[in-house]
Amino acid sequence: MTENFREKIDAIVVGAGPAGVSAALAIKRGGKNVVVLDRSENIGSKNMFGGAVYLNSIKSILPNSYKTAPYERFMTNHTYSFLTEDEAVSVNAVGKNQTTATVLRPKFDKWLVEEAKKEGVFFAPKTLVKKLIYKNGTVVGVQTEQEKYFAPVVILADGVNSLLAKQIGLRPEFFPKDMVLSVKETLKLDKKVMEERFHLEEGSKEGAMFEFFGGLSEIRTFRKNKKRLVTPFAIGFLYTFKDSISIGLGVSLEDLANYKMRPYELLEKFKENPAVKKLIKGAEEQEYSAHLIPEFGFNNLPRLYANGVMVVGDAAGLVNSAHFEGTNFAIESGKLAGETAVIALNLGNTRHNILKIYKEKLQKSFVLKDLKSYRNVVEKLYSRKKSILYYYPKKMAELMETVTCVDNVPKKRKFRKFFGSIFFERSITELFRDFKAFLRLFFDIMF
Amino acid sequence: MDIEKKLINVKYKTDNVPHLVLNQEICKVCEDKVCLTICPANVYKQALSGENTDNDAKKSDTIECISVEYENCLECGACRVACPYGAIDWKYPAAGCGVAYKFS
């Protein structure tokens, strides 16, 4: 980069993921010079997620070209599957909705960057920001391995581990309860086999996605030979791509730590579940990856701005894990931070009293609205994890068994036995607690 | 399950300098050693009593109780959050180094 350009930088964005690129686009469109620094050699190669982006979200920043992104498949086929050790009860929805698409991040992120370059956003790959330069209580620039960059406003889009937000105290130290670890494998699968297995139209871009609940509980022996059921708070997923599938798990970091479980062993156990095994049969391992998902949510939201700096996307913990949504929050928060940067630059004041506009914009958008209505979801689900991930999948399988098994026993007796068991086989307080948690979440989200 | 089998398919560009450094003084007295199980790439291993499996570490004077195969790191950050004593100095590898996903 020439000295000349460096003197004219209005804004620095750290991280070229969806949040960073979205912010940079908004800044450039506001007539300001922006540079995006990214530590990877090939942009996108450090990025990992379950598999899907949302077309409406991409359209919001690239209305003319969003259709040309390297989409792998459009998710027309959604399945929620409740697993026991050897049974599964699934809800499958086949629809026309084509607004969710799988992408491979190395390809997609590169496409996003190329689109931004066309509009004059400057990218500096292979550039690692070591720390923020802080003067008189204001962020004034960044220190990379080689050089210093200065600009009136810096946007942190450096991902879930955001060491930079931590450096200036925007976010506190995290604890395992604030994080979910996602481990994933991409498996190569013949296109024909995939189309047949997932009921996709031959030669089409139709795709299927799955979420899996349960099937990972185990009985452990504790001190004094006491046996106890251990249920890791983990949700499985499967996405279809052009000629591959991704299979993975998001597991509470706290449970992994407490139960001393190895994430890849849990992933293998998940893959061995009969219902899952059938879906990935014959698929060849292509890549293994891992990533953290921030789950601190609305109740522990970090500070989103300070003098000369704003935090966006994963770095700010903006995800809705209950719906597996993240890239849409990244893109929207990036856009709103970028717009705020332009307002601040035009005013010639990038201090916190102006940058607070960013938070106000977030509050008016779905980002903080959703985060707020879902503020108790993770905590509540976690507190009832044995019900959700062990007991109810088991009962659902039992109910299906009761309905489908023909065995010369009068129906009345069978159904009475089943419904009676819901009230009497566990302590009634468990049922009461499940119901209370359900009501709480229902009212949080609806009202 | 062999984690090595999974890691074979992952592409890396190895940094010469370790980006993960443990405060072994803390590790020596740590009873949890959650790093040994939480890492999705099994980067942290219990070193054999007093000895070290890592050749480079043998040369050093300090006796390490946990060996760090930072070359296999997937840069997820789980260990940093999970270590209850903050004994892991967790940084990113040098620019352009570390894991390079192709299909994720």
Banded model confidence at residue A255, pLDDT cuts 50, 70, 90: very high
CA distance A66 to A55: 7
CA distance A335 to A269: 40
Banded model confidence at residue B61, pLDDT cuts 50, 70, 90: very low
Q: How many angstroms separate the most distant Cα atoms in chain A?
A: 87
Contacts of B13 in chain A (CB under 8 A): 41
pLDDT at A50: 87
Burial A222-241 (b: 16+ CB within 10 A, else e): eeeeeeeebbbbbbbbbbbb
Interface mutation target, options A36, A37, A40, A242, chain B, most CBs of B under 10 Å: A40
Handedness of CA A276, A281, A287, A288 (dihedral sign): positive
CA distance A351 to A307: 4
Query: How do residues A78-120 score in pLDDT, each as one tens digit?
Result: 999 999 999 999 999 998 878 999 999 999 999 999 999 999 9
Domains and CATH numbers, chain A: 3-51+103-172+300-374 (3.50.50.60), 177-294 (3.30.9.90), 378-446 (no CATH)
Contacts of B7 in chain A (CB under 8 A): 288
Q: How many A×B Cβ pairs under 8 Å?
A: 130
Contacts of A290 in chain B (CB under 8 A): 40-41, 74, 76, 78
Q: Any idea which residue has 């989103």 for tokens?
A: A304
Query: How do residues B64-98 score in pLDDT, each as one tens digit?
Result: 789 999 999 999 999 999 999 999 999 999 999 99
CA distance B74 to A60: 32
Banded model confidence at residue B54, pLDDT cuts 50, 70, 90: low
For A95-145, where are the E strands, in sequence order?
100-102, 122-124, 129-135, 138-144
Q: Is the pLDDT of residue A139 over 70?
A: yes
Compute and round to an integer the Cα radius of gyration of chain A.
Answer: 24
For residue A220, the tally of other CB atoms under 10 A from its CB is 11
Residue type, A58: I
Is residue A141 within 8 A of residue A6, CB to CB? The reply is no
Angstrom distances, CA of residue A262 to CA of A57, A267, A326? 35, 9, 25
CA distance A416 to A280: 38
Interface mutation target, options A14, A285, A291, A314, chain B, most CBs of B under 10 Å: A291
Burial A252-291 (b: 16+ CB within 10 A, else e): bbbbbbebebbbbebbebbbebebbeebbeebeebbbbbb
Query: How do residues A176-198 score in pLDDT, each as one tens digit?
Result: 999 999 999 999 999 999 999 99
Q: How much of chain B exceeds pLDDT 70, in percent?
A: 84
Contacts (Cβ under 8 Å, ≥6 apart) of B18: B68, B70
Average pLDDT, chain A: 95
CA distance A380 to A377: 5
Residue A10 is classified by DSSP as -
Contacting A with CB below 8 Å, chain B residues are: 1, 3, 5-7, 9-10, 13, 32, 34, 37-42, 74-78, 80-82, 86, 90-92, 94-96, 98-104
Find the mean pLDDT for residues B43-47: 93
Burial A28-50 (b: 16+ CB within 10 A, else e): bbbebbbbbbbbbebbbbbbbbb
pLDDT at A297: 87
CA distance A226 to A231: 16
Q: What number does CATH give the domain B3-99?
A: 3.30.70.20
* Distance between B44 CA and the closest CA of chain A, angstroms: 12
CA dihedral of residues A184, A185, A190, A192 (deg, nearest 10):
-20
Average pLDDT, chain B: 88
Is residue A192 within 8 A of residue A282, CB to CB? The reply is no
pLDDT at A56: 96
Residue A321 is classified by DSSP as G
CA distance A427 to A234: 24
Which residues make beta-bridge pairs with A75? Answer: A207
pLDDT at B59: 47
Angstrom distances, CA of residue A304 to CA of A25, A285, A315? 20, 39, 9
Q: A232 by DSSP, 3-state: which?
A: coil
Angstrom distances, CA of residue A68 to CA of A47, A82, A115, A158? 20, 36, 10, 26
Q: Is the pLDDT of residue A289 over 90?
A: yes
**ipTM for the assembly:** 0.94
pLDDT at A4: 66
Domain boundaries, chain B: 3-99
Angstrom distances, CA of residue A160 to CA of A20, A38, A168, A229? 13, 14, 16, 32
- Searching chain B, which residue's CA lies closest to the CA of residue A248? B104
* Distance between B35 CA and the closest CA of chain A, angstroms: 8
Question: What φ, ψ does residue A146 adopt, rounded to 5°?
Answer: -100, -40
